[in-house]
Amino acid sequence: MTVTDETTTYVVPAEIAAQIVLPEGHVDHEKLFAAYQWLRENMPVGKAVVEGFDDLWLVSKHADIMEVERNTELFTAGGHEEPGDHNPILSNQAGDAFTKSLTGGSLRIMDALPYLDPPEHTAVKDIAGAWFRPTNLKQWEDQIRTLATEAIEKYLKQGTNEIDFIEDFALYFPLHVIMTLFGVPEEEEPRMMKLTQEFFGVADPDLQRDDVVQSPEAMAQQFAQAFQDFCGYFEGMVADRRANPRDDLSSLIANAKMENGEFYPNTFAYGWFMAIATAGHDTTSATITGAIEALGQNPDQLAKVKANPALIPDLVNEALRWASPVKHFMRRARVDTVLSGVEIKAGDRIMPLYQSANRDVDVFEAPDSFDLERRPNKHIAFGYGPHMCIGQHLAKQELRIMFEELLPRIESIELLEGRKLTQTNFVGGIKRLPVRLELN
């Protein structure tokens, strides 16, 4: 399909657009993934027109998303005219208006990597880029393994464990790892957990704050208030790490300096801390949970990886493809361009659908099957290009170590009734997963 003139547009059917754009559309995986498939097969780049939202282009194919992600000169994260004139996290029009009312007209509510474009993005990413490289992360291998075994011994027992896997187990290990490496005291972890769930759960009725009144801008309001609560905590951390630097990640970030030798403004430290304190663990717990569900649905796969632990790194990659907890980061076209034969105008908003890309039959054979021996596995669960997740190697390390410690102990996984998904179009996955685990 190609566009022949300026009056021709590709408008996605209303029910498909709503399923993908609205947070409530993400609580039904069967319908959501059917909507993704319809797009890939019928309209790989299609315009979504949903009441209350800016019109936007849904991009569903792996190759097209990689093209968008690699080309930051053409597709901006933070703004095509002035930094802050574009929101990389999809919000409705009322929410964007609310954010602008707080910031004096900007949608850049925080100085964090998802809101930045090169060269600013490059400089800020370099603050801790070396810390997140595999060669540096090796030094934390033993400590992370100790935390994994402690979590298993604390939350699980020999014999039958009838639990909500995410609520009673999976949430805690990644949080404890990242907070330990970050230098946050263990007694503060429940506070970080609560704020993270509020931050990512702005559209989920189960996760809404008591001080947020239902309104069209409620999601943006909760996002902003959770962010402000985080900043209130991080302000003290920045001051402490500058006065008393330690050998931890927060000290590295707090003491970063610009080219002129001055400290970065505190807001940049807050942006880093936010990314680490939220995405640094929430996505990992979602992936662990997605893997356990898939292994429960496919006992042959569980038996295979238990018989051959060398397959665990492959299990990690397939779990990341399967769960894809980060659903999108919005982009905006800087100039008129063409994507997959479709004319995109300067200023148009673009929604790369990472979950859809990771089920693209052009890249993955039998993409709707969980196959821990899938090779190659070119998933883009961490994004692609300059904005590719800086914490990907730490996440893979945590996942590998947890599976190395947990899987040998699991005799069987039985999935029980009560599975629920987080109501979100941004970051999230399984919210409730009742299981019966038999451990040796």
Measuring CA to CA, which residue among 55, 9, 24, 133 is closest to residue 332? 55
Taking residues 258-271, what's their average pLDDT? 93
Tracing tokens 């093209």 back to the chain, one arrives at 67
pLDDT higher than 90, residue 82: no
**Is the pLDDT higher at 418 or at 230?**
418
Q: Is 123 within the bounds of a domain?
A: yes
In a domain, 9, yes or no: no
pLDDT above 90 coverage of the chain, percent: 76
Q: What tokens appear for 430 in the block?
A: 């399984």
Does residue 78 sit within a domain?
yes
**Which residue do the tokens 């540096």 mark?**
136
Q: Is the pLDDT of residue 5 over 60?
A: no
- If you write DSSP's letter for every residue of 98-143 in order, what string do you get? HHHHHHTS-S--S--GGG--TTHHHHHHTTTTTTTSHHHHGGGHHH
- pLDDT at residue 388 tops 90: yes
Identify the pLDDT of residue 425: 94
Question: In the predicted model, is pLDDT for residue 8 greater than 70?
Answer: no
pLDDT bracket for residue 6 (50, 70, 90): very low
pLDDT category of residue 202 using cuts at 50, 70 and 90: confident
Whether residue 4 lies inside any domain: the answer is no
Least confident piece of the model among 38-42, 59-63, 71-75, 316-320: 71-75
Helix (DSSP H) and strand (DSSP E) numbers for the chain? 18, 12
Residue 331, pLDDT above cutoff 90: yes
State the pLDDT confidence band at 81, using cuts at 50, 70 and 90: low
Sorting pLDDT into bands at 50, 70 and 90, what band is 199?
confident
pLDDT tens digits, one per residue of 220-234:
888 888 888 888 888
Please check the confidence at residue 357 and state whether its pLDDT lies above 50. yes
Q: pLDDT-derived band of residue 4, with 50, 70 and 90 as boundaries?
A: very low
**Interatomic CA distance for residues 25 and 19, integer angstroms:** 4
pLDDT of 201 above 80: no
Instruction: Indicate the pLDDT class of residue 215, thresholds 50, 70 and 90.
Output: confident
The answer to whether the CB of 333 falls within 8 A of the CB of 86 is no
CA nearest to 387, candidates 109, 100, 125: 125
Within 8 A by CB and 6+ apart from 307, the residues are none
- Greater model confidence, 207 or 7: 207
Q: Label the pairing between strands 331-333 and 75-76.
A: antiparallel
Using CA atoms, how far residue 64 sits from 35, 40, 74, 349, 356, in Å, is 17, 11, 13, 15, 11
User: Burial of 378 by CB count in 10 Å (0-12 exposed, 13-18 middle, 19+ buried)?
Assistant: middle
Res 69: pLDDT: 96
Positions of E strands within 60-113: 75-76
Per-residue pLDDT of 144-185, as tens digits, reads 999 999 999 999 999 999 999 999 999 999 989 988 888 888
Angle, CA 229 vertex, CA 223 and CA 233 arms, to 5°: 140
How much is the pLDDT for 154? 95
Q: Is 199 in contact with 421 (CB distance < 8 Å)?
A: no
Indicate the pLDDT class of residue 135, thresholds 50, 70 and 90.
very high
pLDDT at position 302 is 97
Q: What one-letter code names the amino acid at 219?
A: M
In Å, what is the CA distance from 245 to each residue of 248, 253, 419?
A: 8, 10, 44
Q: Is the pLDDT of residue 334 over 50?
A: yes
> Is the model's pLDDT at 3 over the cut of 50?
no
What is the per-residue pLDDT for 80? 63
Can you tell me the distance from the alpha carbon of 297 to that of 416, in angstroms, rounded to the nearest whole number? 11
pLDDT for position 303? 97
Distance, in Å, from the CA atom of 208 to the CA atom of 220, rounded to the nearest integer, reads 12
Strand-pair partners of 164: 434
Average pLDDT value for the chain: 91
d(CA 284, CA 320): 9
Token reading at 147? 């935390």
Domain holding 344, by residue range, is 14-439
Kindly report the CATH number assigned to the domain that includes residue 348.
1.10.630.10
Given a cut of 50, is residue 1 above it in pLDDT?
no
In a domain, 8, yes or no: no
Q: Is 429 exposed, middle or buried (0-12, 13-18, 19+ CB in 10 A)?
A: buried
The pLDDT of residue 207? 75
pTM of the predicted structure, to 2 decimals = 0.93
The pLDDT of 410-427, averaged and rounded, is: 95
1 in a structural domain: no
- What's the pLDDT at 279? 75
Count of domains observed in the chain = 1
Give residue 7's pLDDT.
Answer: 38
* Spatial distance between the Cα atoms of 302 and 113, rounded to a whole number of angstroms: 37
Residues in contact with 205: Cβ distance below 8 Å, sequence separation at least 6, in sequence order: 423
In a domain, 7, yes or no: no
Query: Is pLDDT above 80 for 285?
Result: yes
* CA pair distance 77, 390, nearest whole angstrom: 16
Asked whether residue 3 is domain-assigned, the answer is no
